[in-house]
Chains A and B, each alone.
Chain A
């Protein structure tokens, strides 16, 4: 039996627009997605903002009802058996909300331990253990309002492990964290998987998905557009090379000229302070470099390099693959 089974899951939000003439509008957030997560697997759901990741997680954690399709967690249906699922799962949504800021970390954990029906005897030993695990020992008596974002996020992790859940849903757990905080949190996630937890992780950080996940589903506009191992996804772009050109102040029209070059599959622009890095995917490898430099004539350029494609390039091809 799969730990998570998602079958043709769909979620439509109804929103109203207009003040005087109000009309209802439907927004499809998740559009007929299916996937399984095996017990003990760390499964990634990768996609841009607004792709439907959080909506999917909210349906799987019983917070939202699906509009159509079904999902089962450890064999229980999310629509009809939420009370069976809740004691067996834990979840984190990225960000600082969801904690009582006026209380200390210990008081937050004590309260949630009661709500999760953790025996008081167990929670007395488990709370210090979890605080130690997430590196909050010594700060546990301070009010949460004084914590950094990373500390709050780690407290979220401790809270979600209070009842020792079998399946964890981590929705962009490292969002907004500094590099050190994000690395520490990834380490915690890795350890949880080593303990045998089934984890569904959503992220839009490629390296995070690549480093942590056994399989990744790429989701865009509510649909799963690829599902494979990180290596499998990278093979999608194994026929391509990536030319990286550092430019200063490139105009959209110039980038369009690069996009229009024959054999260019996709162009991704990464902005870094005053400069941009154009990442041009093409099967031609270094042979396309003169053409790119021609197209960029008149623009101040820096470093030019040709490299092997990464998971990020596979993602760019999948999500923004129409050049």
Chain B
């Protein structure tokens, strides 16, 4: 491994550690990570309790995914805004470690930490509602979890440049939260949505992640469907990373042009 790559990796790990430290001290993160997904899980479990035990794991996975997406959107986005406010964003763009690596480290940490949402929803459904929760295909489910994490990281990298470039993007965060819950089919199948929304869902990696997790956890599909979901997840993750890389390059040049890195 060359010296530069080793330095960038070490910096990404340090950035991830920083993100975790600041999350622990931030009550808003705890809300997004625990309270909101649990509220969604409770409501969904009550509404869907007549559908049988099989549906409980669907809700657990779905509400966990809502926690993941909210954390990614708000914690990662707010993280960049906070860096701008404290005046550290300028510093981060002027160090030898490219900003892409720093944000990657933070996003990996945030996304991995968000798995807590899923664990919390699992504990809630199991203890409070007494559902006998079991994952139907545990190994395939674990593979799906890993691919899901990768795709969420890629999705986070895709939206991060907008936060770097423009402080006003934060205002759009709320508007971006629920459409993804719905279009990605976290809590109910997208078949319930109008037909014209389906192509949009297909372009969202979280949709394929939710699909892979739902299939492997509640046995509602065969191997072909799992492999198709994994394939789409990998393709979209790759595409997102490629676009993100390009966007970061353009964004940083634009930020140097427009002097927005230090704006409060």
Residues of A within 8 A of B (CB): 13-14, 58, 61-65, 83, 86-87, 91, 93, 95, 97-103, 110-112, 114-117, 120, 163
Residues on the A chain within 8 Å of B87, using CB: 93, 95, 97-99
With A98-B90, A102-B22 known as contacts, the answer to whether A86 contacts B95 (CB < 8 A) is: yes
Residues on the A chain within 8 Å of B10, using CB: 114, 117, 120
B259 interfacial contact with A, CB 8 Å: yes
Residues of B within 8 A of A (CB): 3-4, 7-8, 10-11, 13-15, 18, 21-22, 25, 86-88, 90-98, 102, 253, 256-259, 261-262
Which residue of chain B has its CB nearest to the CB of A103?
B21
Which residue of chain A has its CB nearest to the CB of B90?
A63
Q: How far is the CA of A160 from the CA of B136 in the complex (A)?
A: 54
- State which of A86, A95, A101, A103 has its C-beta within 8 Å of the C-beta of B94: A86
Query: Are B18 and A87 interface neighbours, CB within 8 A?
Result: no
A–B Cβ pairs within 8 angstroms, 17 of them: A58-B259, A63-B256, A65-B253, A86-B94, A91-B94, A97-B86, A97-B87, A98-B86, A100-B18, A100-B88, A114-B10, A114-B97, A115-B14, A115-B102, A116-B96, A117-B3, A117-B97
Residues on the B chain within 8 Å of A86, using CB: 94-96
With A64-B259, A103-B21 known as contacts, the answer to whether A112 contacts B95 (CB < 8 A) is: yes
Query: Are A114 and B14 interface neighbours, CB within 8 A?
Result: yes
Residues on the B chain within 8 Å of A117, using CB: 3-4, 7-8, 10-11, 96-97
Which residue of chain A has its CB nearest to the CB of B101?
A115
Tell me the minimal C-beta distance from A73 to chain B in angstroms: 12
Residues on the A chain within 8 Å of B92, using CB: 115
Q: How far is the CA of A103 from the CA of B21 in the complex (A)?
A: 9
Residues on the A chain within 8 Å of B98, using CB: 83
Which residue of chain B has its CB nearest to the CB of A29?
B259
- State which of A64, A95, A97, A115 has its C-beta within 8 Å of the C-beta of B97: A115
Q: How far is the CA of A111 from the CA of B18 in the complex (A)?
A: 8
Residues on the A chain within 8 Å of B91, using CB: 98, 112
- State which of A65, A83, A97 has its C-beta within 8 Å of the C-beta of B96: A83
With A98-B88, A115-B14 known as contacts, the answer to whether A65 contacts B256 (CB < 8 A) is: yes
Q: How far is the CA of A221 from the CA of B262 in the complex (A)?
A: 22
Q: How far is the CA of A107 from the CA of B55 in the complex (A)?
A: 46
Q: How far is the CA of A49 from the CA of B102 in the complex (A)?
A: 34
Query: Are A114 and B256 interface neighbours, CB within 8 A?
Result: no
With A83-B96, A100-B18, A117-B96 known as contacts, the answer to whether A65 contacts B86 (CB < 8 A) is: no
Q: How far is the CA of A111 from the CA of B16 in the complex (A)?
A: 11
Tell me the minimal C-beta distance from A53 to chain B in angstroms: 15
- Which of A13, A83, A87, A97 counts the most B-chain CB atoms under 10 A from its CB? A97
Which residue of chain B has its CB nearest to the CB of A95?
B87
- Which of B18, B22, B25, B253 counts the most A-chain CB atoms under 10 A from its CB? B18
Residues on the A chain within 8 Å of B96, using CB: 83, 86-87, 115-117, 163
Which residue of chain B has its CB nearest to the CB of A14?
B258
Which residue of chain B has its CB nearest to the CB of A67?
B257
Tell me the minimal C-beta distance from B28 to chain A in angstroms: 14
- Which of A86, A98, A114, A163 counts the most B-chain CB atoms under 10 A from its CB? A114
Residues on the A chain within 8 Å of B8, using CB: 117
Q: How far is the CA of A103 from the CA of B25 in the complex (A)?
A: 11
Residues on the A chain within 8 Å of B259, using CB: 13, 58, 64
Which residue of chain A has its CB nearest to the CB of B13?
A114
Residues on the B chain within 8 Å of A87, using CB: 96
Residues on the A chain within 8 Å of B15, using CB: 111, 114-115
Enumerate the 10 nearest inter-chain pairs by beta-carbon distance, A residue then B residue, closest first. Answer: A97-B87, A117-B7, A114-B14, A98-B87, A115-B95, A87-B96, A65-B256, A114-B11, A115-B97, A115-B11
Query: Are A65 and B88 interface neighbours, CB within 8 A?
Result: no
Q: How far is the CA of A115 from the CA of B17 in the complex (A)?
A: 13
| Other A-B pairs beyond A99-B86, A114-B10, A117-B97, 15, CB < 8 Å | A62-B94, A83-B96, A86-B95, A86-B96, A93-B87, A102-B22, A111-B18, A114-B11, A114-B13, A115-B15, A115-B92, A116-B95, A117-B8, A117-B11, A120-B10
